[in-house]
Amino acid sequence: LYGLTPKVETAIIDAVQAGAVRRLRTLVAPLHPADQADLLERMPARTAASLVRFLGDHLDAETLTYLDENTREAIVEVMGAKALARQLHDLSTDDAIDIIEELEEDALADVLAALSAEDRVLVEEGLSFPEDSAGRLMQREIVTVPSFWTVGQTIDYLRGGKSATDDFYLIFVVDPARKPLGEVPLSKLLCAQRPRRISEIMESDFRSIPVDMDQEEVAVLFRRYGMVSAGVVDLGDRLVGMITIDDVIDVIDEEAEEDLMALAGVGEASLRSSIRETLQGRTTWLLVNLLTAILASVVIGVFDATIEQLVALAVLMPIVASMGGNAGTQTVTVAVRAIALRQLDAVSTRNFVIREGFVALLNGLLFAVLAAVVSFVWFGDPEIAAVMAVAMLANLLIAGLSGTLVPIGLLRAGIDPAVASSVFVTTITDVVGFFVFLGLAALYLM
């Protein structure tokens, strides 16, 4: 954990409990903001609140950007509007917006009122963009120069501290209307001769991001083209900000976490979520699962007479359902990942469905033989073995096809496949598996 060792953590907690403010600040100062955030998240809520109060303005502003949402909400409440406004002044606009956009309306108004006029304008403009858009993700502080400047003029300008930011990878070349003409990587600027004009070394083949583009699309562009930073343009094609790779990494992490939680049916949750929030996030999907389980039970109830006369069916039923459910989950996971990475177009979707269907068929044949052998050895009845084989083949084939078609269908219907796919596919495999198995048994064995 680099600077945050168990020894340091214990010393900080002891200093908080003893109220040793000077020692506390000495211990916390060398820690990286990420380590400070980790420390606050691992502390009991009251201890963390005391630590924040003791540190005051000595708390690194960047620490707030590393905190999870629940911890940050508690810390911000402890800090108060004026202290938070001072911290936001030291952050880029994208980080500032990320911190305050989740505040309650009254708290947000207090923080905005405490900001300087310049900071308030930038933050309010950022908040005006749609949530999860490039406009919310970008930082407004960018370095722009005209194309007629020389390399020497540009370097002197940067050294003079007149640029809007100290942390940048690209220099944007704009015309008088702030429309982008090109960009110059910092490394290329430093390697060029001072007399050369910016227009001679700028890269005209660049990609600008529309301010209203969804942040997931932004992440796809960065991943596909190996981008480190990119300019953001408004509807008038004027340069209004830039997005850097660190923000995109956060988006990728958030989207991956959301998809993972959605597939598991637990909603948004964290170690700091309250019992009510955790219960609310899980109860909904447990209720849906209950309804689908009842549907599967109804199918079983239709064949209750068959099961009563042949007990072996009750023994073998869970095998059919379990294999179908697992096969469907495997395919759903692959499909949801492909959708999230924007890997499915018209051609690739067709190929994907055919490929997964073929894999499901091969798996079905393989496990149909294995299930038939196990059933025959277990019960010594070739007819039961044959029914088991056909049911296994049918269920695995249906699982493979539904695992691909259901997520694609939900996407086209405007529903998040990560949220709903598992429930639908599990229901399909359970119902089809039980119906085929018990139906064949009723038809041929009875």
Q: What is the pLDDT of residues 114-170, one digit of tens each?
A: 998 988 988 888 888 988 899 999 988 899 999 999 999 999 998 887 666 667 888
pLDDT of residue 446: 59
Categorize the per-residue pLDDT at 271 as very low, low, confident or very high, splitting at 50, 70 and 90.
low
32 has pLDDT over 70: yes
Residue range 365-374: mean pLDDT, rounded = 95
Tokens 């796919």 belong to which residue?
421
- Range with the lowest mean pLDDT among 64-78, 301-315, 389-403? 301-315
Cβ atoms of residues 322 and 412 within 8 Å = no
Q: What is the pLDDT of residue 1?
A: 47
Q: Is residue 231 scored above 80 in pLDDT?
A: yes
Instruction: Tell me which range, 305-314, 368-377, 418-427, is most confidently predicted by mean pLDDT.
Output: 368-377
Would you state the pLDDT for residue 3? 63
Measured distance CA(54)–CA(257) in Å, rounded:
34
pLDDT of residue 2: 58
Distance of CA 303 to the CA centre of its chain: 44
Question: What rounded mean pLDDT belongs to the chain?
Answer: 87
What mean pLDDT comes out for the span 26-34? 91
Judge contact between 96 and 123, C-beta under 8 A.
yes
**CA 82 vs CA 76, 105, 272, 446: distances in Å:** 11, 16, 26, 79
Fold of the domain built from segment(s) 6-137: MgtE N-terminal fold (1.25.60)
Q: Using one digit for the tens of pLDDT, what is the confidence trace for 89-122?
A: 888 888 889 888 888 888 889 899 999 898 898 8
CB 168 within 8 A of CB 252: no
Would you kindly state where each structural domain of the chain is located, as residue ranges? 6-137, 144-245, 275-445
Buried b or exposed e, range 72-87, using 16+ CB within 10 angstroms: bbbbbeebebebbbbb
Q: Which fold has domain 275-445?
A: Tetracycline Repressor; domain 2 (1.10.357)
Contacts of residue 165, defined as CB under 8 A and 6 or more positions apart, other chains included, come to 92, 139, 141, 142, 143
Distance CA 284, CA 149 (A): 60
Backbone angles phi, psi at 14, to 5 degrees: -60, -40
Q: Distance from CA of residue 316 to its chain's centroid?
A: 40
Query: From CA 406, how far away is CA 410, in angstroms rounded?
Result: 6
Provide the edge-to-edge strand list for the sheet that holds 209-210: 209-210, 229-233, 239-244
What is the reported pLDDT for 262? 66
Name the CATH code of domain 144-245 (choices 3.40.50.12780, 3.10.580.10, 3.40.50.10860, 3.40.50.620). Answer: 3.10.580.10
Q: Assess whether pLDDT exceeds 60 at residue 269.
A: no
